[in-house]
């Protein structure tokens, strides 16, 4: 628990700030002893950048450096805000390392992948001379052997990240997707020039009335999206507290890492303190077979419902069934698509609580693990 003596913060702080990222993701991890350290995961879509920055300033007004910037995968609702952030003459804070699987890294696997924003990110990383995938010797971030998950210690800060996704096969599957998207820009496209001319980067049915029991029994097929399958997902552990940051990773790919981990530790379920569920609460990303392998009471959801109406109510209902009772849901916006879960009669009946931003005009929410 965080306590104060005068202006000095005591040890073992671990806060997760789910920033306002419209229908996308952006999460700031804050941890440390007497001094805050930061890890930023993704940056939401470009047209939400001002709200994102405002949210960042609210929770970390004295942010001077990131220990790590993680760009989970090439979907624009995760990547675009970071293009906007990096595409400026002077960065607003120091970035000690970037995790991103770009063209050059994945080419070494034997196949390549990409998309326009991915090429923009790679260009900006090079132009800003940022440290790129240093923890993986500059190579692609992936799991070679699911029985030997990579564990990366972030400097001497006490934070460790256990990689759960992607696997090598998932990266290789992106070859056709990246290639087909980039080919339309010509044989030898100049992405630096294209970025300079891209003005964007200058600084299902409404089922609110459906019963919970009905939602809990809806059959859902898994997500087979190629980009989502390539998501960088990990367990972030600090002072014996752990959060799973799932990005947009699919259940099948996460289980490839989690199942061997459970066998190795002789456990039936992975016990963690918080879980940022995959793909903004999409019913196709977080399946019951994954829920049944995770023991967690704090569920983090990042979405304003724009475009895809996330989170899907089936996901929340199935979490109540598989991971309850006493679940706590943390939403970084209060919207027509998640306000159902503020109903106190539902909370009493199904034994859960929901938390929303304190002020409607200041979206974003903080979860304190320490």
Instruction: Transcribe 54-103 into DSSP letters.
Output: HHHHHH-TT--EESEEE---S-HHHHHHHHHHHSSSS-SSEE--EE---H
Q: Which residues of the chain have pLDDT under 70?
A: 1-11, 103, 107-115, 175-176, 202-210
Nearest to 276 by CA among 296, 258, 305, 306: 296
Please provide residue 211's backbone torsions phi and psi, each rounded to the nearest 5 degrees. Answer: -70, 155
Residue 311 backbone phi and psi in degrees, to 5? -80, 150
CA separation for the pair 75, 275 (Å, rounded): 21
Query: What is the SS3 string spanning 252-297?
Result: HHHHHHHHHHHHHHCCCCEECCEEECHHHHCCCCCCHHHHCCEECC
- Residue length of the chain: 370
Fold classification of 4-368 is Metallo-beta-lactamase; Chain A (3.60.15)
Helix (H), strand (E), coil (C) string for 278-345: HHHHCCCCCCHHHHCCEECCEEEECCCCCCCCCCCHHHHHHHHHHHCCCEEEEECCCCCCCHHHHCHH
Residues 6+ apart with CB under 8 A from 209: none
The pTM (predicted TM-score) of the whole model is 0.80
Q: Which residues pair with 70 in a beta bridge?
A: 41, 99
Domain locations along the chain: 4-368
The pLDDT score that the predictor gives to residue 107 is 61
The helix/strand/coil state of 36 is coil
pLDDT digits (tens, 9 = 90+) for 13-45: 999 999 999 999 999 999 998 899 999 999 999
Q: Across the chain, which distance is largest between two alpha carbons, in Å?
A: 62
């Amino acid at each position: 628990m965080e306590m104060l003596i005068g202006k000095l913060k005591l040890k073992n702080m671990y806060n997760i700030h789910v920033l306002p990222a419209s229908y996308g993701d952006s999460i700031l991890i804050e941890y440390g002893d007497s001094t805050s350290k930061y890890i930023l995961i993704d940056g939401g879509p470009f047209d939400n950048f001002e709200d994102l920055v405002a949210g960042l300033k609210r929770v970390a007004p004295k942010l001077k450096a990131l220990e790590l910037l993680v760009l989970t995968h090439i979907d624009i609702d995760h990547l675009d805000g970071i293009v906007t952030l990096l595409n400026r003459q002077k960065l607003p804070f120091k970035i000690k390392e970037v995790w991103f699987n770009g063209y050059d890294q994945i080419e070494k696997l034997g196949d390549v992948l990409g998309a326009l924003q991915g090429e923009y990110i790679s260009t900006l990383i090079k132009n800003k001379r940022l440290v790129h995938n240093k923890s993986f010797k500059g190579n692609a971030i992936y799991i070679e052997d699911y029985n030997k998950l990579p564990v990366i210690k972030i400097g001497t800060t006490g934070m460790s990240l256990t990689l759960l996704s992607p696997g090598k096969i998932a990266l290789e599957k992106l070859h056709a997707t990246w290639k087909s998207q980039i080919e339309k820009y010509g044989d030898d496209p100049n992405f630096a020039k294209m970025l300079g001319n891209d003005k964007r980067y200058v600084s299902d049915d409404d089922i609110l009335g459906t019963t919970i029991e009905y939602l809990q029994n809806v059959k859902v097929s898994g997500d087979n999206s190629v980009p989502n399958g390539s998501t960088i997902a990990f367990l972030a552990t600090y002072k014996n507290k752990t959060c799973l940051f799932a990005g947009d990773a699919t259940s099948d790919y996460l289980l490839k890492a989690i199942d061997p981990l459970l066998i190795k530790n002789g456990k039936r379920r992975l016990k963690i303190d918080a879980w940022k569920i995959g793909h903004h609460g999409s019913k196709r990303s977080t399946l019951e077979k994954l829920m049944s392998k995770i023991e967690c009471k704090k569920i983090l959801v990042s979405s304003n419902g724009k475009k895809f109406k996330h989170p899907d109510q089936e996901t929340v209902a199935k979490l109540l069934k598989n991971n309850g009772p006493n679940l706590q849901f943390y939403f970084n916006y209060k919207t027509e698509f998640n306000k159902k879960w503020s109903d106190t009669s539902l909370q009493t009946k199904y034994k859960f609580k929901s938390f929303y931003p304190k002020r409607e005009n200041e979206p974003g929410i903080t979860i304190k693990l320490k």
